[in-house]
Structure 1
Amino acid sequence: MTLVMAYIGRQGAVMAGDMREIAFQGDDPCIEALERELYSGSIASDNDLLERAGEIGVAIRVRDDKVKVTEQDGVIVGEVTETAGSTIRQKRLYVTAGSYVIAEIIDSRLRVTQRGQAGNFVVLGNDITKQVAGQCIREAWKGGTVPEAMRVILLTMQMASGVTASVSRTFMLVHTDRAMNLAGAINRASGGE
């Protein structure tokens, strides 16, 4: 799990997502130990990640081209993936001007876990990326417009990529001014319509 961050305002919404995907191969206990270290922030650079993976016998493949944020008919969708053994769990964030929904997908079943309204930042990520986002929001957000929220999100993405190898330096940023029906987007995603 890496970093997807959004701001939902009354007049628009913006979301950014890094582009890193890390695949692990090796013994499950070693992979779990490496993931704990990575997601807690104790592995800051790509070199540190490669070195630590080699030390404990885990093969890794890192790519920085995974698209985690898209726009579909005025709705911005961000997605992060967690693996625990053979279980793959996805969290998906749907945003539009004025509202958002968080859903979980486990074994191809989509379940809405949270709904919210304008005036919120939402962060999907691991422990260290959530800490960085919280710090950036506390220190840089003084309230205001979507462009001001965009600056906080950009700052968060840059800071997070500097403190954890779980986040790529490249990211996508998507913005919408439209207020769309999130129920329709979720219904399409879960196989309806």
Structure 2
Amino acid sequence: MSLVIAFIGSQGAVMAGDMREILFLGDASCREALEAELYDGRIVTDDALRRRAAEIGIGVHVRDTKTKVAERDGILVGEVGETEAGIVRKRRLYASQGNYAIADFEGDSMTLVSKGTGSTFTVLGNAVAKEIANRCIREAWKGGGMAEAVRTIVFTMQTAARTTASVSNEYLLVQTPHRKDVVTVLEKDAARAAAGRGEESGSCSG
């Protein structure tokens, strides 16, 4: 997991996602230990991640090319995910003007986690990324409009990249002014997952 953040407002929605994908190779218990250190904030820089991995004999491959946010028919879609014992789990955020939904996908099943309306920020990611994001939002957000929401999200993505090696410096930002019922796209993704055809999202896990 890394970081996806969205603002859902009365004038539209905006969403950003980092582009980091990390693959760990080696003993399962050592991988779990390294992931724990990464996701609780003990590993801040890329160099520190590589050093710590070498110390415990774990191979690490880092790519900053993963697309995790996209716009589909006026609805923004962002996704974070993880693979454990060959099982891929994804959490997906759908956002448009005034409404949003969060759903979990695993295999051919979808579980609706939450949905809501009104103006709000929503964050997906690992523990330290979410902690950083929520702190940045409290610090930067003064209750303004879309321009301030964009500035807050940019500030958050840049701060997270400096604070944890689980988030890349590179990120994508997408916006929509449209008001669409996010459940329409969510239901399409659920149907595709149930049919075993994957989800046509344009966003990917990381």
> Could you state the TM-score of these two structures normalised by the residue count of structure 1?
0.97
In the other structure, the counterpart of 1:6 is 6
In the other structure, the counterpart of 1:104 is 104
Once the two structures are TM-superposed, the CA of residue 47 in structure 1 deviates from its matched residue by 0.6
Unaligned runs of 5+ in 2: 193-206
Structure 2 letter corresponding to 1:96? S
In the other structure, the counterpart of 2:41 is 41
Structure 1 letter corresponding to 2:57? G
Matches within 5 A, 1:118-129: 118-129=118-129
In the other structure, the counterpart of 1:25 is 25
Indicate yes or no: 2:174 matched with 1:174. yes
Once the two structures are TM-superposed, the CA of residue 105 in structure 1 deviates from its matched residue by 0.5
Extract structure 1 runs of 4+ deviating beyond 6 A: none
Write the distance in 2 (CA, Å) between the matches of 1:108 and 1:189: 10
Write the distance in 1 (CA, Å) between the matches of 2:108 and 2:68: 18
Q: Is the 8 A contact 1:44 1:165 kept in 2?
A: yes
Write the distance in 2 (CA, Å) between the matches of 1:187 and 1:45: 39
Aligned residues: 193
Write the distance in 2 (CA, Å) between the matches of 1:81 and 1:56: 24
Write the distance in 1 (CA, Å) between the matches of 2:175 and 2:118: 14
Once the two structures are TM-superposed, the CA of residue 135 in structure 1 deviates from its matched residue by 1.2
Write the distance in 1 (CA, Å) between the matches of 2:118 and 2:62: 35
Unaligned runs of 5+ in 1: none
Once the two structures are TM-superposed, the CA of residue 107 in structure 1 deviates from its matched residue by 1.7
Once the two structures are TM-superposed, the CA of residue 62 in structure 1 deviates from its matched residue by 0.6
In the other structure, the counterpart of 1:133 is 133
In the other structure, the counterpart of 2:15 is 15
Write the distance in 1 (CA, Å) between the matches of 2:58 and 2:88: 19
Structure 1 letter corresponding to 2:125? G
Write the distance in 2 (CA, Å) between the matches of 1:111 and 1:127: 21
Structure 2 letter corresponding to 1:84? E
> Could you state the TM-score of these two structures normalised by the residue count of structure 2?
0.91
Deviations 1:95-139 (A, max 9, x none): 000000000001231111100112110000111111111111111
Write the distance in 1 (CA, Å) between the matches of 2:160 and 2:83: 21
Q: Is the 8 A contact 1:28 1:85 kept in 2?
A: no
Once the two structures are TM-superposed, the CA of residue 181 in structure 1 deviates from its matched residue by 1.9
Q: Secondary structure at the match of 2:175?
A: strand
Q: Is the 8 A contact 1:90 1:104 kept in 2?
A: yes
